[in-house]
Structure 1
Amino acid sequence: MSDLKEILQENSYMRQHQLIFADCDRYQRARVSTLLSMAAAVAGADYDARGLTYEKLYERREVFLLSRIALRIHRDPKALQVVDVSTWEDGVKGAHMQRVYEITDGEGLLVSIRSDWILVDPVTRHIMRPGTFTAKKLGICPKPIDAPATRKILMPREGVEELGTRKVVWSDLDGNGHVYSGNYGDFVWDYLPADLQEKLPREFFINYSKEATLGQELRLVGCRQGSDYLMEGLGPEGVCFSAQCVF
């Protein structure tokens, strides 16, 4: 087997990833949580490759928090497959710094992703305007990305069902001490109605609102809207995440 490749260019970054069984569901399809994790990981790897590690950004008091993701699955990645995960910065929209992705194989596009990030002072926890970011000039993606726009997900007032509770445990946490962004994909799938758990979504949207930390208990609620399913995770201080699955 050849070594996995990593390519850094002026305005893009690509890293290959081999999917293993642990990344996939019972049908050997990459789980949504895996796709979310790959997006978050390659964004960090892009900046690491440019010498802008988390530690350096922390020293500058300019760190990123993921706010929203929207993804479209064109073809499902499979277990043991080697895929190219490419990412580009894509400018600023309002308070968000944007980043886009493509996951491809030898036959073409598998998954396309858009994401919104907020700039935060890690000491004060205050949100900052993107224009105050000084570590580097933000890039613009030079190509169209066939992914849906990120969106604000709102639960309806009626027709919402109680799905249960999910306690945040040690294995949910990342190096920031809160639930890792990719793990919410598994939270959603574990609490979907059984008939939907079997299906592969065409699109998936998620909003990250408040961090969930060790020992907190999330109350999960959801509802069907046509072929879509909406879900919300409520913590002690309000909504932690909102998700929309499009089948």
Structure 2
Amino acid sequence: MLGTTKMIKRLACASLLAVLAACGSAPVGPGFYRVERGDTLSKIARGNRQSVQNIARWNNLTNPDSIEVGQVLRVAPGGAASTSGALRSGGSGSSNASAAPRPTPAESAPAAAPASSISLVWPADGSVIRRFDGANSKGIDISAAAGTPVVAAAPGTVVYAGNGLRGYGNLLILKHNAEYLTAYAHNRALLVKEGESVKRGEKIAEMGDTDTDRVMLHFELRYQGRSIDPSQALPPR
């Protein structure tokens, strides 16, 4: 019975990683690499004939051990590969070109504009303490009192409810259609279960501080598996 429970947890975690990261679902340009399950920065550096220090510097990584599945990394100097070239899916890029200026976070994780749109409501009341930047922040952080209601930003289905992904605490993921997901992290309580359908504005969790150092909601919007700025789909406050 214990072995069965462990197997279920592993499968749930693997499913979550696939939902959040959607590894390989979108192409990356020459000179970039999408992190896959089992990758380390050292392994990526060896595969692209680069040093760990260079890749960490080009991607503003303060902790080389903190890369995530699905994350897009620059693996060649800024001038080593033309981003106007044909896109390719996954793989690595390398070049012997001379070093170029350090890329900005936006260059480190380029994102195509969504071909469709979605309309969201704010998932919680509170103060926005961190905004999306595409590199260090893949969503927005909203701070309020513990227990503040967290609501579904759009109608959808709960595809994950648990705490199997490090750094997210008690996490909910809602699927809204074939292209869009939203994620709600660090909750103290989850009020819905996997497979449930929820309405826009329905209470789904209570704000908390699981796997973080303060009470807040970390909210992400994903388009075809890639993080995009939620504020573009949220009404002004």
TM-score w.r.t. the length of structure 1 is: 0.29
Larger CA Rg, structure 1 vs 2: 2
TM-score w.r.t. the length of structure 2 is: 0.30
